[in-house]
């Protein structure tokens, strides 16, 4: 269903397409663990545009393409004429003549959308300031592994900044029938348009989307608690001010006392221990968090295989 399509947002995916990605990710993970070759993209090439640096994104996409039998090209601003002011539409049309797919990790979401508009090959959003769909699809896979395939009715609580992760979690929970509650300071809520779209999406699956300001209210009886750094890339100059604002939103042992007894805590990394999450909670959930990090590889392989095959 996804062949030849862009993957910019979970909102753009159907309920069935989300499940298709998760099912293939699970299958490819099993094959990789068993040492079974799965060269679904043999002879194909992915261009990886990085306007924001990353550890997990670069390594997982590059390794994933290798395991799928293809090749990945790392393209920073120093490697592209984009860094010297070439229009995105020209870069998109040129790269489409050489590549079978393009991945972009950038700042404004409009840059990913413009790239997709002009490219003749699938474009995958590896992160923008608005959305992080690959990470949230990864997290859904991880939750399936730990809580069972049917996610409907599970409660996810997000605590912290209403950022690109919060936005994408709303879409992901809406598409899978989960209950989602985000606790953020009033002035740091997730994107209003995304929130409205997620609430509409939720009607298809019986999911629910709720925004609150009280972390304890959000975490009450939660099956999954997630958080993210308080100052995202590009917000470093706000770090000290944000630490004061978000101090009541730390995920710690006291906050988790109100969650379900079998609660799992997730973090997309990098984590700043002592800020959004305590050392104690992170290490108690380290197996979950690093399984989550590993699953970026398997989920993104599924996305690449389904869009580029």
Query: Which pLDDT does position 191 carry in this prediction?
Result: 98
Query: Which pLDDT does position 232 carry in this prediction?
Result: 81
Kindly indicate the confidence band of residue 215, based on its pLDDT and cuts at 50, 70 and 90: very high
Annotated ligand binding at 139? The verdict is no
Question: Do residues 51 and 75 both lie within one domain?
Answer: yes
- Active-site residues, by number, are 105, 132, 135, 228, 268, 296
Question: Do residues 55 and 127 both lie within one domain?
Answer: yes
Question: Do residues 287 and 139 both lie within one domain?
Answer: yes
Question: Do residues 124 and 36 both lie within one domain?
Answer: yes
Question: Do residues 175 and 95 both lie within one domain?
Answer: no
Residue 140 belongs to some domain of the structure: yes
Kindly indicate the confidence band of residue 144, based on its pLDDT and cuts at 50, 70 and 90: very high
Residue range(s) defining the domain that contains residue 81: 10-132+295-308
Annotated ligand binding at 270? The verdict is no
Supply the CATH number for residue 109's domain: 3.40.50.1370
What is the spatial distance between Cα 6 and Cα 112, in angstroms, rounded to a whole number? Answer: 10
Residue 242 belongs to some domain of the structure: yes
Annotated ligand binding at 93? The verdict is no
* Residue whose C-alpha is closest to residue 214's, from 172, 237, 182, 238: 182
Q: Structure pTM?
A: 0.97
* Residue whose C-alpha is closest to residue 288's, from 223, 220, 238, 199: 223
Residue 5 belongs to some domain of the structure: no
C-alpha separations of 290 from 113, 167, 176 in Å: 31, 22, 23
* Residue whose C-alpha is closest to residue 153's, from 176, 123, 137: 176
Question: Do residues 172 and 251 both lie within one domain?
Answer: yes
The model's pLDDT over 182-196, given as tens digits with 9 standing for 90+, comes to 999 999 999 999 999
Question: Do residues 223 and 104 both lie within one domain?
Answer: no
What domain count does the chain have? 2
Kindly indicate the confidence band of residue 84, based on its pLDDT and cuts at 50, 70 and 90: confident
10 CB-contact burial (10 Å; exposed 0-12 / middle 13-18 / buried 19+): buried
Query: Which pLDDT does position 231 carry in this prediction?
Result: 85
């Amino acid at each position: 269903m996804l062949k030849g399509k862009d993957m910019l947002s979970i909102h753009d995916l159907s309920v069935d397409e989300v499940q298709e990605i998760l099912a293939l990710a699970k299958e490819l993970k099993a094959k990789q663990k068993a040492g079974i070759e799965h060269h679904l993209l043999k002879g194909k090439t992915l261009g990886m545009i990085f306007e924001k640096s990353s550890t997990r994104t670069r390594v997982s996409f590059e390794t994933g393409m290798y395991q799928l039998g293809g090749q990945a090209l790392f393209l920073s601003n120093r490697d592209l004429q984009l860094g010297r002011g070439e229009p995105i539409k020209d870069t998109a049309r040129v790269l489409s003549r050489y590549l079978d797919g393009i991945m972009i990790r950038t700042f404004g979401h409009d840059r990913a959308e413009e790239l997709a508009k002009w490219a003749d090959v699938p474009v995958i959003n590896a992160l923008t300031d608005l959305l992080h769909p690959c990470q949230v699809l990864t997290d859904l896979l991880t939750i399936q592994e730990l809580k069972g395939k049917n996610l409907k009715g599970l409660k996810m609580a997000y605590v912290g900044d209403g950022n690109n992760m919060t936005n994408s979690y709303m879409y992901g929970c809406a598409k899978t029938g989960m209950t989602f509650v985000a606790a953020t300071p009033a002035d740091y809520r997730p994107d209003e348009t995304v929130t409205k779209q997620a609430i509409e999406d939720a009607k298809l699956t019986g999911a629910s989307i709720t925004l609150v300001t009280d972390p304890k209210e959000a975490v009450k009886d939660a099956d999954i608690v997630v958080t993210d750094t308080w100052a995202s890339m590009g917000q470093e100059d706000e770090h000290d001010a944000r630490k004061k604002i978000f101090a009541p939103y730390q995920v710690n042992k006291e906050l988790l006392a109100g969650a379900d007894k079998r609660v799992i805590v997730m973090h997309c990394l990098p984590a700043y221990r002592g800020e959004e999450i305590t050392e104690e909670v992170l290490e108690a959930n380290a197996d979950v968090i690093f399984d989550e990090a590993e699953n970026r590889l398997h989920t993104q392989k599924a996305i690449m295989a389904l869009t580029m095959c």
